[in-house]
Structure 1
Amino acid sequence: MERIAIVGSRTDMARHAKELGLEVVLVHSPGSRPDRVRQYVDLMIECPVADAEAVLDVLAPLHRERPFRRVLAPGEDAVLTAAVVSEKLGIPGNSVETVVAIKNKVLTRQAMDRVGISPVLHRTVASEAELLAFLAEVNGKIILKPIDSTGSLSTLPIEDAEQARRAWGLYVADGHTEGLVEEFLEGPEVTLESFSVAGKHHPVGIDEYLKHPDQVVEIGDLFPGRVSEENRNEMVRLTSALLDAVGLLEGPSHTEFILTDKGPRVLETHCRIGGGAINELVKRAYGVDLSRLQVSVPLGLETFTPHALDSGKGAAMIFFMPKPGRVTRISGLDALETLGVPVHRMPVEKAWTGLVGLDPIRHAEVGVNLCLEVGEIAHPVRNNWELLMGFVIANGEDADRAAARAEEVMAAITIETEPIETEPVDGIPA
């Protein structure tokens, strides 16, 4: 029996590996929730997944006994570790150089500059003075973000010098000493999900982020994204050029864009499946399971068949984001269940370890997962890692119908809160 190592304890990849007849060695961080994965795993090892040398130390002896075919990571926290371990042990996969160039937003911008696909003003800054100088150069709205981070953590839009000073103070307080600052791009935010085989990049689908106009964090996702054919073709072209520039060979990728009035502009890319709902929405819209393909295709167990981007149906997910405060009343759930909409209840989890709570409603046309109870605290949502209060998911004949069904269900649920003392919700202290 062939075996693989999975670094990170999300469930789908391990389940698919077991279905494919593989032996699975799982490396999971202390404090993670490997109980969800246990039934699919032959050996579990506790080790910090972001510590490449520590993971190498525990996997190398096993590899010498019987080689791993692949070392794979389902999430952002371990993609670099998987690349380092693979390279050290001589296992095929994406190179360390490629993964570093993708994870480091400055290196990604430099790769785009080399091939002429990044007409976005940007700069690395290491002080308040440098941030202010860039603001003056752009003479417009800018955005400050960490060089290596995800989920909109410490990502701060800035419009004037006063905001810049406050933002830099918050940014430093979050533990950062250097950042990437870019001109702020106006327009809808969308992503292109792709799958690479032997260095050829195949578009899978476009995700549209549903957002409030004044928020960085999305309130939901819609598949396929409502994008013109011209913009869609340009997104495919830019993504392929970027992934070639960084040398991606295999597996899923998630490339983020802003659709400006001058055309699509790349924000960043990732050598993994998009976070949160995206893999589930791809499955619902196109019948394609990227998590399974990430295991099966590199091992030659299955082939990837490209499809037309306009060939899918619709799928949508909207996250619960009630007014911050203590929950005093939740209503509407009983009526939904009477109408046949399944409702799953589960506690809020402090760490985002994949799309928790989905399994009980995975096969429902429309379903609800709610993680709040009366008396609990609905916290401000300042980044994607805090989207922990649940969601509504829905299928549709097309994207508009899927979104409408999800919005109808969301509107039927009322979560009332009372104010408590909280941190500022905009991320920039007054």
Structure 2
Amino acid sequence: MPDTAQSLIIIVGGSDQLYREYSHEWIAAEYPIAVITAEPPTWQRRLIVDHEVADTRDSDSVRAAGRSLALRHRIAGVLTWDEFALVPTAALAADLGLSGNSISSMSASRDKATSRRKFAENGVPSAKSTPVDSLVAAAAAADHTGYPIVLKPASYAGAIGVIRVDTAEDLPAAWSFTTAGATGQGREGSGVLVEEYLAGPEISVECVTIEGRTTALAVVRKELGFAPYFEQLGQAVTAADPLLPEVAPVAAAAVQALGVREGVQHVEMRLTATGPRIIEVNSRIAGDLIGVLVRLATGLDLPRIAADIACGRTPELTPSEQKSAAIRMLYPTHSGVLTTREISGSPDLEYPWLERFRWEHAVGDNVILPPEGNLETARIGFMVVTADSQSQAYERLDLVEKRLVLQVSSDQDRDSESVPSVVAL
């Protein structure tokens, strides 16, 4: 093993700059980083000391890249926040003799059919779920489950291919939508699931697991839109959320049912009339800047916590802040060409609580909502604020949004004046 001055951590995948750069930055403040990415690094270069290019969805490719890095550096740990790289990262950790979750637990996390089975076996409240491979089988499963149902790919992420189906007449079109989405799903699961629709507010619980013991750190309140799809319009985190004592045991039971022993987990659930019920467990740091919200509201640094655990250190789990933080995603009300995107004045100077404001699309871009599009094609931008309470956070989001001018043209008004078009929470 090379004799280097300081060990480094390998990060596998997770190369989306807009939503993942902060994770690299926060870890780089403490650890030298090497990355394994599908393409040569670009924006990561200022934050890393080395890299390898590999197919981050393939265990053999990731293991070979990791072994090459290990020939040049002393490796302290491996980590990913890329949903599709969970199993290859577990394989690399085992290959290098490092701490990490088992391949079987990461496979169970990735394959939602296996997750549902393990939840049922361990008495974790979840949804009825039936794997199917044809429209005929889906119709039979839906009749047995009872409408409304949810169709989803077995091993995707980001709500791609997920749709609520209210009636049997809606099923054929919904089946086409989900199976189209399922073509890009991960290797750990296959086919489509017919699931019971869980009515009630959706939340997530951000958890940390060390040596098999899970601690719930924060609750994320979610805003969803564009039914029957499940697009996330925004999230809010409040330190010491009163829901935490109620949902923490359910989240911990779900993590443990999958055999997850360490790391950071993003546990999604619905607050139903019969109590909290699990949607799924993502065995990684959440997307959509939820890690930023958690740090702004509580002071807890999820990327640093995940890195500490991967490298065998004891992380800091005591909150140092008592605030609220919220993010709002900006969507058009219809698909079309973005013709105007402006924000009046200098709100970043006037509003010290406006932590981030970013555009995701430029004027002239097509913005496309589901079912033709997804979150990458639909979101125009986002804003993040802090406050003393969740209600104040939403008031502040409203203040910023009033200064926005967003216009999207569509086929029917392409020859006329563009119409204002933005979704508000």
Deviation (angstroms), 1:119: 4.9
Matched, 1:315 2:325: yes
Letter in 2 for 1:123: T
| 2:300 and 2:317 in contact (8 A); partners too | no
Letter in 2 for 1:221: Q
CA distance in 2, matches of 1:36, 1:141: 44
1:414 to 405, 408, 413: 405
| 1:318 and 1:407 in contact (8 A); partners too | no
Aligned to 2:248: 236
Question: TM (normalized to structure 2)?
Answer: 0.85
Letter in 1 for 2:357: V
Deviation (angstroms), 1:388: 4.0
Matched, 1:127 2:118: no
| 1:101 and 1:246 in contact (8 A); partners too | yes
Aligned to 2:9: 4
Matched, 1:272 2:284: yes
When residues 159 and 319 of structure 1 are mapped into structure 2, their CA distance, relative to the original with a 3 A threshold, is same
Q: For residues 159-208 of structure 1, what are the alpha-carbon distances to aligned partners after superposition, in whole Å with 9 as ceiling and x for unaligned?
A: 11221112223333345462111111111110000111222111110001
CA distance in 2, matches of 1:404, 1:146: 36
Letter in 1 for 2:405: T
CA distance in 1, matches of 2:89, 2:348: 47
Runs of 4+ in 1 over 6 A off after TM superposition: none
When residues 301 and 12 of structure 1 are mapped into structure 2, their CA distance, relative to the original with a 3 A threshold, is farther
1:262 to 263, 267, 274: 274
CA RMSD of aligned residues (A): 2.6
SS across alignment from 1:190: strand
Aligned length: 393
When residues 62 and 173 of structure 1 are mapped into structure 2, their CA distance, relative to the original with a 3 A threshold, is closer
CA distance in 2, matches of 1:269, 1:237: 14
In structure 1, the gaps of 5 or more residues are 342-362, 422-430
| 1:93 and 1:250 in contact (8 A); partners too | yes
Task: Describe how 1:267-346 pairs up with structure 2 within 5 A.
Answer: 267-301=279-313, 303-307=315-319, 312-323=322-333, 324-331=335-342, 333-337=343-347, 340-341=350-351
Q: For residues 1-46 of structure 1, what are the alpha-carbon distances to aligned partners after superposition, in whole Å with 9 as ceiling and x for unaligned?
A: 11221112343444344322x442211112x7x3221112111222
Give the stretch that moved more between structures: 121-130 or 173-182: 173-182
Question: TM (normalized to structure 1)?
Answer: 0.84
Aligned to 1:357: none
Aligned to 2:35: 26
Letter in 2 for 1:380: L
Deviation (angstroms), 1:84: 1.1
Deviation (angstroms), 1:225: 9.0
When residues 173 and 212 of structure 1 are mapped into structure 2, their CA distance, relative to the original with a 3 A threshold, is closer
Letter in 1 for 2:215: H
Aligned to 2:237: 223
Matched, 1:374 2:384: no
When residues 191 and 386 of structure 1 are mapped into structure 2, their CA distance, relative to the original with a 3 A threshold, is farther
Aligned to 1:160: 167
SS across alignment from 2:76: coil
Deviation (angstroms), 1:416: 1.4
SS across alignment from 1:218: strand
Deviation (angstroms), 1:336: 4.4
Matched, 1:88 2:102: no
When residues 98 and 55 of structure 1 are mapped into structure 2, their CA distance, relative to the original with a 3 A threshold, is same
Q: For residues 388-424 of structure 1, what are the alpha-carbon distances to aligned partners after superposition, in whole Å with 9 as ceiling and x for unaligned?
A: 4210111100111111101221133121122138xxx
1:250 to 240, 259, 262: 262
CA distance in 2, matches of 1:73, 1:338: 32
CA distance in 2, matches of 1:162, 1:261: 27
CA distance in 2, matches of 1:271, 1:95: 12
Identity of aligned residues (%): 23
CA distance in 2, matches of 1:18, 1:120: 39
Aligned to 1:41: 48
When residues 57 and 413 of structure 1 are mapped into structure 2, their CA distance, relative to the original with a 3 A threshold, is same
CA distance in 2, matches of 1:157, 1:82: 32
Give the stretch that moved more between structures: 38-47 or 210-219: 210-219
| 1:257 and 1:265 in contact (8 A); partners too | yes
